[in-house]
Structure 1
Amino acid sequence: MNIPDANTTFPLENYDKLCYLKNIIANPNIIVGDYTYYDDFEDVYNFEKNVKYLFDFIGDKLIIGKFCMIASGVTFIMNGGNHLTEAITTYPFAIFGVDWQNAMQGKSYPTKGDTVIGNDVWIGHDATIMPGVTIGDGAIIASKSVVTKDVEPYSIVGGNPAIMIRKRFDDIKINQLLELQWWNWDIEKITKNVHHLTGNDLNKLIE
């Protein structure tokens, strides 16, 4: 078998605008699965620049599954961008120190936890993913969308804020796909089934 190597940075010959994303990530709080790719019109190293407000002292993570497709300009807003919303002011006095350093004593900025992208997720050009969102396996995020809440597996969402446009399959097929978890097969089995994976007869994969 001649299988694409998940540890290759640039899997397309003579083209450096698409990469297997895990191979360029330096931040330990960004975790990416095998074969997830990122395409950037300018420079694939823009990806980490587009993960905004990911501060070590907050501790949240961006977790992306396997075989995801992330288009140019996708932005992830992390919890470090949050401000107080129920206080008299949203102004972050404490970060400027000196006599303001105790402004947050006994308080904490709001956090919504990790941002989790499932497997086989397609995120379109210039979409924005807000903090703490979970996007289910097999979902599609339309271009320019702003995702403010969790996205169900195998659903298509779009808009600002993003809302469900439709499910990709009926509930029975979605449950079968979620049980199948083809992305967790060994790569040899995936390779033997790529023709079926790009078809629409699920029974060929279940047999």
Structure 2
Amino acid sequence: MPDSRPFPAADVLHPVPMPDGSTHAGTVFLAAAVDHPRISVGAYTYASAHQPPEDWAAHLAPYLYDFSPERLVIGKFCQIADGVTFITASANHRYDGISSFPFAVFGGGPAEGRPSMPGPGPDTEIGNDVWIGQGARILPGAHLGDGVIVGAGAVVAGQIPPYSVVAGNSARVLRRRFEPQQIEALLRVAWWDWPIDRILVHEALIVGGDVAGLVAASGG
């Protein structure tokens, strides 16, 4: 008998049903799981963990505090595997002088403005439809373009162009997933901004390799 389950709403916490009628506790739509003033997550982005944490924000971005100046911005339809960590800028120490020791953290006066504290760091930004493999580390200020795939265990810094495949430590671009003109077309189509019903109608095109067909379906 065909599976007639409706696609879950974007605000569902545990979107993966199990055969016994329960839901998979280790997979969450992240926007429903995270309530953090410095984290923004787009619709349908999910994260998975073999041991589900009580606090998904602290699990994924342990150095991003409520008072941190930087932000973690994650787009729509991203896929975040077990063990991924976003090492945001508040994890940094000063390393432009003789010692990197954070004296201000331990006292001896107010922390604000202390010379042993680094200045505000950059935001970390993840595009739409980005797949981050198991155990990857995303470093402070990294910008991952739409459609990027990050290999398991990669350590990623800097600007990663859209529809690139990156792997290694430090991660390097192995290849682009499509030709430059196709990537430009895909970024114009921006299927992740379509209503979910339209996305499901064109699911075969979105997960297939026919860029021209998807462009045609978009009306572009």
Check whether TM > 0.5.
yes
Q: Cα deviations across residues 107-158 of structure 1 (Å, max 9, x unaligned)?
A: 7514431100000000000000001111000000000000122211000000
1:6 alignment partner, one of 5, 10, 13: 10
- Aligned pairs for 1:79-90 within 5 A: 79-90=89-100
Give, in angstroms, the shift of residue 58 of structure 1: 2.9
Counterpart of 2:104 in structure 1 is: 94
Structure 1 segment 36-185 matched on structure 2, within 5 A: 36-45=45-54, 47-48=56-57, 49-98=59-108, 100-101=109-110, 104-105=113-114, 109-185=118-194
Q: Please report how far the alpha carbon of residue 104 of structure 1 lies from its aligned counterpart in structure 2 after TM superposition.
A: 4.7
**TM-score, normalised relative to structure 2:** 0.87
SS across alignment from 2:93 = coil
Do the aligned partners of 1:38 and 1:44 also contact (CA within 8 Å) in 2? no
Name the CA distance, whole Å, in 1 between partners of 2:78 and 2:54.
Answer: 17
What's the counterpart of residue 194 of structure 1?
Answer: 203
CA distance in 2, matches of 1:43, 1:83: 30
Cα 1:107–1:94, aligned 2, differ >3 Å: closer, same or farther? closer
Specify which structure has the bigger relative contact order, considering alpha-carbon pairs within 8 angstroms and separated by 6 or more residues. Answer: 1
In the alignment, structure 1 segments of 5+ residues that lack a partner are none
Cα offset for 1:168?
0.5
- Which residue identity does 1:183 align to in structure 2? W
Residues in 2 aligned to 1:101 and 1:35: alpha-carbon distance in whole angstroms: 42
Task: Work out the CA distance in 2 between the residues paired with 1:6 and 1:80.
Answer: 30
Quick one: distance in 2 between partners of 1:205 and 1:171? 16
With structure 1 as the length reference, what TM-score do the two structures score?
0.92
Q: How many residues align?
A: 206
CA RMSD of aligned residues (A): 2.0
